[in-house]
Amino acid sequence: MKIAVCIKQVPTREWQPRLNDQKTWVREQDASYEMNEPDAYALEESLRLREQHGGEVVVCSAGPARVQQVIREALARGADRALHVEDDALGAADAFTAAAALEPAMREEQFDLILTGLQSDDQGHAQFGPVLAEKLGVPHSTIIMEVQIDEAAGSLKVKRELEGGWFQYVTMPSPALLTIQSGINQLRYATLKGIMAAKKKEIRKVAPPAGLASRLTVTALYVPQKAKQTVMIGGSPAEAAAELVRRLREEARVL
Amino acid sequence: MILVIAEQRNDKLNRASWEAVVAAQQLAGEGIPVKVAVLGQGVSTAASELAQAEVAEVITVEHEALASYTSDAFVQAAAGLVTATAPAHVVFAHTYQTRDFAPALAARLDRALVTDVIGLKVAEGRPLFARPMFQGKLLADVALGGPAPHLVTVQIGAFRADTVQKGPAPAPVTSATATIDPGTVRQTPEAPFQEAKQAVDLSQAERIVAVGRGIKTQENIAVAQQLADAFGAELAASRPICDNGWLPMERQIGSSGQTVAPKLYVAVGISGAIQHLVGMKGSRTIVAINKDADAPIFEVADYGIAGDLFDVAPALIAELKK
Ligand SMILES: Cc1cc2nc3c(=O)[nH]c(=O)nc-3n(C[C@H](O)[C@H](O)[C@H](O)COP(=O)(O)OP(=O)(O)OC[C@H]3O[C@@H](n4cnc5c(N)ncnc54)[C@H](O)[C@@H]3O)c2cc1C
Ligand SMILES: Cc1cc2nc3c(=O)[nH]c(=O)nc-3n(C[C@H](O)[C@H](O)[C@H](O)COP(=O)(O)OP(=O)(O)OC[C@H]3O[C@@H](n4cnc5c(N)ncnc54)[C@H](O)[C@@H]3O)c2cc1C
């Protein structure tokens, strides 16, 4: 099986975003980066499927040179090789642009299965997977919590998460694209051996197709205004604890 | 014209569809008609319910291939309808079903899509859509380019269903034919199900202490348990805690977990992502403890302590034991 896993590099969750001078985007130069969390689960799932069915796992990522960090990490965790669509000029492109950037190179590879995360931790458009599937002409299913492959039948059966604790099984022919939900498996981390081996693995750089332009433009980025009057309780931990308990007893009457 | 694509299952309307109608009414302003479409097979109850809204028309799109949801059939039916009706905007509620097919629909139509919108503005004659970015730490105003229609999904809870404008008389319900080639529907769905009945029903708890990723390690869950015990509360968690297997799934609060409304909800080391908030914001009194004073959880909290939970929790346990 030839499995693609699409991985996005995002600012770490701890990072406090700071705005650029135009207040239209964040100061990317200040950010530290990590692998988008659902993508780590998608990577783990692809490695498990390779263990069961053989084949190879190819990491696909679009973005500026800095995304090599997460590509290396994915290779260290066990992916076989990588495809990097690199362009420093595209900036904060939308999900359509990212999918369009990756589509030609991914089409050429003729993957049997493509896994993506269900949404990114930074922009969070939750669009890239279904858009890429549509562009490639393959069926898709989203928010997946289990993947079973029937190689003989050329099909797969997946467990879709629905709202409020409901699930549903869906069967479809391969090749197909699935967007993976966090928690589908337990993650493994890179070993020293994996990190050493990753250094020798191939990262193929590809230029994006010409003429890509984002249709979504951020005209302003800002800190949301607080609507609710939250009573913020200060002081030392002991003082704050005493004041909170007093208010919960006397004001809110919930204790 | 603005077209809303409503959602139903077994002819039961998804409540979030009303919120999409509200967003469409706001976007339309005066003079621009709003129409609502319902896709499925046997959707007359949902359609007549929607006809109560102040809209120009409710359009049913029925086909046996739409009886159970699949992205392939819904993309085809919606693409046909959008092409035939040529709206300026198409509005959906940002449900799991919308997430599954709206991006593919946008790609099929080759039109712009903005997701998870929480507010609308107009600047220089064109609409701007406010949506969260960076886990809700920031909001972005987004303008959409390229030809109409532009597709818009609205975050659950962002537009209040009870502000929907009702019409003086029910709107006309018409039907449009869907052309779906069953041979092109590649997904075969099975019936939705729930995992084995949950042993703990958190919806009955009077007090809940919920722990998030700020707890850092599995060993530290004990700290949260002690805090819950001191409050006489059930222990619950955000999704990452359950994903890691530190607490069972049945203790997860949020859109993919349980929805609760206790007298007291204490969120400890939880950032306040929308998928968590929808499961708990109906709680009567909400307390948030977070070391980041700007964390979105404080937006819904009645009382907040901006501090390190490893200092605050022991102090609270000691205070409650007094
Ligand atoms: C050449 C190029 C350069 C770019 N440079 C920048 C930049 O400097 N700064 C910036 O902020 N953005 C940049 N982007 C855009 C950004 O990387 C995202 O691709 C885009 O915003 C996707 O939207 P999203 O995060 O909301 O995706 P969602 O639809 O929320 O993501 C869902 C899933 O799609 C997959 N995915 C999304 N984006 C990518 C990607 N780029 N590569 C691989 N898989 C992906 C992941 O599996 C993810 O979990 C660039 C894009 C391209 C193509
Ligand atoms: C389709 C979908 C469904 C989802 N369903 C759910 C759901 O049902 N329930 C759910 O919860 N999530 C759900 N999520 C995930 C959700 O988007 C968030 O990722 C998740 O809620 C974040 O959990 P968290 O707040 O614990 O972690 P984080 O967002 O990482 O926040 C951790 C917080 O802890 C604080 N902190 C760190 N250290 C300390 C300390 N020492 N003292 C005090 N505070 C500290 C940080 O400041 C931060 O605010 C879903 C996501 C998707 C896309």
Long-range pairs for B285-292: beta carbons < 8 A, 24 or more residues apart: B285/A248, B285/A252, B285/A254, B287/A244, B287/A248, B288/A230, B289/B313, B290/B214, B291/B214, B292/A16
- Nearest-CA residue for ligand 1 atom 7 is A91
CB contact under 8 A, B100 and A143: yes
| Residue A254, CB-side half-sphere exposure with 13 Å CA sphere | 25
CB contact under 8 A, B304 and A230: yes
Long-range pairs for B221-227: beta carbons < 8 A, 24 or more residues apart: B221/B246, B221/B247, B223/B309, B223/B310, B223/B313, B223/B314, B224/B268, B224/B313, B226/B313, B226/B317, B227/B266, B227/B268, B227/B313, B227/B316, B227/B317
Residue A194 has a CB neighbour count (10 Å cut-off) of 16
Q: Are residues B80 and B15 in the same domain?
A: yes
For A153-209, the pLDDT digits (tens) are: 999 999 999 988 899 999 999 999 999 999 999 998 889 999 999 999 999 999 999
CATH fold label, A2-206: Rossmann fold (3.40.50)
B163: CATH: 3.40.50.620
Would B100 be classed as within a structural domain? yes
Interface of B with A in 232-251 (CB under 8 A): 239-240, 242-245
Numbered ranges of CATH 3.40.50.620 in chain A = 2-206
Domain count, chain B: 2
Average model confidence (pLDDT) across chain A: 95
Q: Domain limits at B265?
A: 202-320
State pTM to two decimals.
0.96
| Six-digit token string for A24 | 């239209």
CA of residue A179 to ligand 1 center, whole Å? 14
The pLDDT of residue B197 is: 66
Q: Are residues B168 and B224 in the same domain?
A: no
**Ligand in closest contact with the CA of A62:** 1
Please check the confidence at residue B23 and state whether its pLDDT lies above 70. Answer: yes
B123 CB near a chain A CB, below 8 Å?
A: yes
Q: Are residues B49 and B158 in the same domain?
A: yes
Query: Among all residues of chain B, which has the CA nearest to that of A225?
Result: B299
- Nearest-CA residue for ligand 2 atom 49 is B271
Please compute the mean of the pLDDT values over residues B158-169 and round it to a whole number.
Answer: 96
B15 CB near a chain A CB, below 8 Å?
A: no
Compare CB distances from B96 to A19, A143, A173 and report the shortest one's residue.
Answer: A143
Q: Are residues B238 and B165 in the same domain?
A: no
Please check the confidence at residue B313 and state whether its pLDDT lies above 90. Answer: yes
Interface predicted TM-score of the whole assembly (ipTM), two decimals: 0.95
CA of residue B87 to ligand 1 center, whole Å? 29
Interface of B with A in 201-220 (CB under 8 A): 207, 213
CB contact under 8 A, B192 and A130: no
Would B196 be classed as within a structural domain? no
Query: Among all residues of chain A, which has the CA nearest to that of B154?
Result: A125
For residue A243, name the pLDDT band (cuts at 50, 70, 90). very high
Strands A155-161 and B2-6 turn out to be unpaired
Q: Are residues B45 and B163 in the same domain?
A: yes
DSSP E strand stretches across A73-225: 81-86, 113-117, 140-150, 155-161, 166-173, 176-180, 203-206, 216-222
Would B193 be classed as within a structural domain? no
The pLDDT of residue A88 is: 85
> With pLDDT > 70 as the criterion, what percentage of chain B qualifies?
99
